[in-house]
Structure 1
């Protein structure tokens, strides 16, 4: 038995949600890496500015 090409999400039960494309899994590892880099950069900039101001 041949199946026709399905362009919708069959896992969704509501008719409106069936018309939406299936969810795309985000790259969490890359997002976490950017968050850590931003935190380290901000912490370093704050530390240098306070250290320079005090001494």
Structure 2
């Protein structure tokens, strides 16, 4: 295996990235992520159903454990 001589770069901040040639390091920069859209705080029917099933499930489990 033949390896080319590459000078380290302090901006790479990792030994593996510092060993890569500059043209490879610059090509892999990720695009900035889009900010998530804010959701309104309105509850949906699925949210309410999930909450109620979890609440009553826990209530039944605790009632059986105590009784």
Please, what TM-score do these two structures have when normalized by structure 2? 0.38
State the structure with more CA Rg. Answer: 2
